[in-house]
Structure formats: C-alpha cells, structure tokens
C-alpha cells in the first residue's frame, strides 16, 4: 500500500517538475534579447581576462629557455634511440 502511495507522490512531483519546466521555457522565449546575451557573454570574457595573472619578461624568458632545453634534450634522446635501433637492425641482417 505504501508503495502505491509513494508512486503517486513521485508521479505528482514529476508532473509539477514538468509543468515548471514548461513555464520556464515560455518565459525564456518571451524575454529573449540576443544582443543582451551577446553583451553579457563579452562582459564575462573581459572579467576573465582581467583575472589572468600575466607573466613578467624575466619569467617568460626563463620558461622559454627551459622549454628550448627540454625540446633539444628529447630531440637528441630520440635521435640516439633511433640511431641505436638502426645500428642493431643493420647488424642482424
């Protein structure tokens, strides 16, 4: 018996939810102004840009040098591995 009552309560809740959803869709359709939405979007973008902590020149130079060193190191590392594998393959033929 309690199970049937529980199902009725859940069904009523679902019906209320669906009705609220339909009302909110109608409100959205009536009050849509595309230019306000675009303006709000770009205002949000500007706020996010202002929150960015930009690096200074000294740190940027340090990070660039570190990146170049890592790229050169791994380039030489993979070149050496390739050369060793090629050497081993040529000896086995």
Residue 52 to residue 46: CA distance in whole angstroms: 10
The tokens of 43 are what? 């205002």
pTM: 0.45
Q: What would the pLDDT profile of 32-84 be if each residue is shown by its tens digit?
A: 789 999 999 999 999 999 999 889 999 999 999 999 999 999 999 999 999 99
Give CA 85 to chain center in angstroms.
39
Task: Supply the pLDDT for residue 93.
Answer: 75
Task: Supply the pLDDT for residue 11.
Answer: 74
Q: What would the pLDDT profile of 23-44 be if each residue is shown by its tens digit?
A: 766 655 566 789 999 999 999 9
Residue 49 to residue 89: CA distance in whole angstroms: 54
The count of structural domains within the chain is 2
Does 67 share its domain with 45? no
Does 77 share its domain with 91? yes
Does 11 share its domain with 31? yes
The tokens of 60 are what? 């940027």
Q: Where in the sequence is the domain holding 73, given as residue range(s)?
A: 56-93
């Amino acid at each position: 018996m309690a199970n049937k009552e529980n199902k009725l309560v859940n069904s009523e809740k679902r019906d209320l939810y669906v009705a609220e959803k339909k009302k909110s869709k109608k409100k959205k359709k009536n009050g849509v102004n595309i230019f306000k939405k675009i303006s709000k979007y770009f205002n949000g973008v500007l706020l996010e840009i202002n929150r960015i902590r930009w690096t200074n020149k000294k740190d940027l130079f340090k990070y660039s040098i570190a990146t170049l060193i890592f790229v050169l190191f791994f380039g030489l590392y993979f070149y050496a591995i390739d050369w060793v594998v090629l050497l081993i393959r040529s000896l086995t033929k």
